[in-house]
Structure 1
Amino acid sequence: MQGSRFAFGPFVLDPGAGTLLRNDVPVAVGYRGLSLLAALVGRPGEILGKAELMDAAWPGTAVEEGNLTVQIAQLRKLLGPVDEGGEWISTVPRVGYRFTGAVEQLGDTRPKPLPLPDKPSIAVLPFVNFSNDPEQDSFADGLTEDLITDLSRISGLFVIARNSTFAYKGKAMDVREIAGDLGVRYLLEGSARRAADRVRINAQLVDAVSGEHLWAERFDRGLEDIFAVQDEVTAKIVEALLGRLRAPPPRNRPQNLEAYDLCVRARKLIDDSPQTAREAHLMLTRAVSLDPQYAEAYRWLAMNHWMGWVHWGEPVEPNRSVALELARKAVAIDPNDAGCHWVLGNLLAYERSFSEADAEFAKAFELDPNEADAWATLSDITVLAGRVDVGLEQIRKAFRLNPFPASWYYLTLGQAQYAAREYEAAVETLRRDETYRTSSRRFLAASLAQLGRIDEARAEVEMFLISNPHFTTRHWVMTEPFRDAAIQEHFVDGFRKAGLPE
């Protein structure tokens, strides 16, 4: 899952770590220069066009060609001449640039396997769609996600979150390698075939340490029995790993399979962009019209409205009040769904109803201690309450449950690092590919400003305002659930130094 390193002359470039070494000594190189060098070194001898290089260093941003010329000149000065004379980077007039040196790819810089938790640990890999219809991919994905949710509710298990297991979708990898990446002992693999009103599911539980298959079974059922099959698979796994346990309270299940399919598709789109969020809104609205007692659809619809006014620049009202109403309805329909509780807890925090919010999060973790998104969301709220060390612990717990998470985890971590005055760490986090180019740029700009790197901070502010033209610090402060005046002033100070609008 990690990138390769490249050796040329006395240099070793590690794009993933963001480092350049000369004779094992770090070389000071800016983010843009490092991005350009990685693009060139990754394809030695090839001509890379100016547009391609500018996109590598300034992704998603229109810049003058002169910026590229300046960065290339700085790289040449930094690298110096090749031993036998000449330059590492040659110009191809009116076209672009080419890396002329000999490059050796050193291979993957794989991290050490994560230590195993102190309880049985499992990851559910994406079930393979064995139907002839590619449209049934969402059905197989939904099955995988539901099994993750059901297993997560077992307090005696450590369960990896959906984002991280779906990083392996469509990839042929050794189970030991995957287990090492995720820090788990057991993997659940399977396939699903849906045709007309029938479904066939194969599932097997593997011990990645010994390679032993602990349990395997095939289910041929009517489509209407799909949720009973999910319950049966969950029970078999729990019995294999923990013995017979009392089952947790049952979750609300959808009564309409079309509504279920719509919800599965919508939850993949909900936080990608304003455009995909609108698409998700249509799907979820249709889902609750088809199944008015479908709690999960209501809670995702609540999040959709919340993200509209907090992140996508939509009007505060009616989105704010509609979101809260939908979240309360989701909890009323299914009080045993941890997801419904943490979504309501998050919205209550933004209403400044902090005691109610805390109670909802506590209930969520009582029902599902493995809910990574809830830990990450709570971290944000805890940091703004002034309990920065606790907030850092919560986001790190979220990363352990979800080692390859959605981009917003990095925003939350970077914000927590800024609050802890760990500015260098915040810059490193917020410049990762996973979150760079998103609204996290405001925290990157503030961190750079606190380090005295004002020019870089102003450049980030300029790019942030392209996609957030109506941002003001005053509105942001009014929106966020601050509970600590000193923390609030620290963020305002960083925004002001970076040049964000008042």
Structure 2
Amino acid sequence: MFDHLLAHRGKVVSKDDLMDAVWPDVEVTENSLYQCIAEIRKQLGPETGLTLSNVPGRGYVLEQTEATERPRARWRWVTAAAVAVATAMVLGGWLAVWNNPTGDNSAPSIHIEPFENMSDNSHWSRLGQALAADIAGQLALNAWLDVTSKRTASAIEARYVLSGDIQEQASEIQVQARLSSSDTGVIVWADKWRGAESDWFDMQDAISTAVSGALGAEWSGAIARSDRSAAHLRGTDDLDAYEHFLIGTEYKHRFTPAAYLKSAEHLRRAIEIDPSFHKAWSTLAVVHALQGSNASTPSELRPIMEARIAIIEEAMRLKPDDPQTLVQRNWLEGHRWDFDRAEKVIRRAVELAPANADVLAEAAWVGNWRNVLGESSVEWSDRSKALNETWPEW
């Protein structure tokens, strides 16, 4: 499947074309296609320079984002594995699942449950599993989250559980999703969708994107908001690096000079605990940008910007293809008068995080300081507001 998408790189490939290319002589359902798409998305990393996006109502498009060497052998294995997984699911009736550990012990963990079938039609159970797999695949693109969709020890210990149900009423389908805390059982986020049964696959794409957008944003998503509340309840004397990051983010969003100082204090403490915590570095760069906007003289601004440059460079060294880091790099490239590179990296940030409300909003704001982005920035801003239920406050 990957080779077929690659052969049509930059073009929308319909679901029917993909199914004909991968299973020309086998009768399969679209669940198999979604499983392969999810597996390919899970394997897409910065080193590939590629992104796979949904085009609602039309299909999928594989796009080159940066000029990088493509590890051909690796993708042959991934494609074969994805097809084998999906075929086994069809023939044996089981759903492939995965774990996406980030390697960061402080990463919030979330377990994705299959969506429960509330009707008498058994095929909604299979479609509920496919929906959960698609959501897990999209959330797994957020490297700061530890995502599981298999009943393992790590899933049982997950900090959050995403569950939901599908109800069929006449020719209409209603889907509900809710995120709950494993410790307390408290629901920290919920949403619902309605649509015609005939539009299910477009509806599945829309739900996956909406859930990823609502939960995946590190500054304003439902998981981040819940973790900030928990961090405050547990106090600040012995917080780990992640908790300092969350509290620093909260102070940043108060948008006052005094709050910026507190934000920088917590972010620097996070960095002291874990010098490789690249998210703390990139967020600290944003705080310096906000502090710089309040500077009243060039002499007051200069040391703030010098510190910001050093912080961005360190974030780039730690993880150059992180979307938040790329947004900050956009400013740095413009500061160095390389405006073509500045535009390239801001668009790369959006390509890597198309459903992250924080990245989209910041890209729309920061990008126009260095480039003329035209309708792109309006689109990013509108998409950010649609994804972020707290956008007016944000």
TM-score (norm 1): 0.35
> Quick one: higher RCO (CA 8 Å, sep 6+), 1 or 2?
2
Higher Rg of the two aligned structures: 1
TM-score (norm 2): 0.43
